[in-house]
Amino acid sequence: MSGMHPCMHCGALNRLPEQARPGTVVCGKCKHQLFEPRPVAIWDEQQFDRLLASPVPVLVDFWAPWCAPCRMLAPELDALARDWVGQLVIAKVNIDEQPALAERFAIRSVPTMMLFRNGALLDSIMGAMPRQALQQRLAPFLARS
């Protein structure tokens, strides 16, 4: 695993050490944990683009507060973010707050999940999915810990 991963606290790009447990990696600038056991909320397109360029796979959850299946999916994604800290980043895009991103990725229904690594789209999933099915679908893409 090599390449740059952005700190969600200060925005600094960090080179990921080859041999380190993800939970122990801190930002070189602000010293916050680079990987936290919870999903990351996306607040603008620049933050989104920097995160998607990471060598760590990023699962983007396009969701909306009024969407019942999104609310059912949320605790499943929280659990995956906890179990796979440093191996998979889960990024939440509220399409009501980020209409430009929803338009850019042609989101027609929520939830829609898209998996990226190094900026490339690897997989997309329409609709909610039980945790076990999600685990099976995503496991082949995980970064090694």
Asked whether position 7 contacts Zn ion by CB under 5 A, the answer is yes
Give the β-pairing of 58-63 and 89-94. parallel
Task: Specify the stretch interacting with Zn ion by CB under 5 A; choose among 5-13, 95-103, 115-123, 133-141.
Answer: 5-13
Asked whether position 81 contacts Zn ion by CB under 5 A, the answer is no
* Binding residues among 19-38 for Zn ion as defined by CB under 5 A: 27, 29-30
Shortest distance (Å) from residue 35 CB to Zn ion? 12
Question: What's the CA gap between 63 and 133, in Å, rounded?
Answer: 19
Backbone torsion region of residue 134, taken as left when φ is above 0, otherwise alpha when ψ lies between -120 and 50, otherwise beta:
alpha
Q: From the candidates 7, 10, 27, 67, which is the catalytic residue?
A: 67
Angle between helices 131-138 and 68-83 (to 10 degrees): 50
Question: What's the CA gap between 88 and 97, in Å, rounded?
Answer: 24
Active site residue 7: no
Asked whether position 10 contacts Zn ion by CB under 5 A, the answer is yes
Shortest distance (Å) from residue 36 CB to Zn ion? 12
Asked if 76 contacts 12 with a C-beta cutoff of 8 angstroms, the reply is: no
Active site residue 10: no
Residues with catalytic roles: 67, 70
- Residues of this chain that bind Zn ion (CB under 5 A): 7, 9-10, 12, 27, 29-30
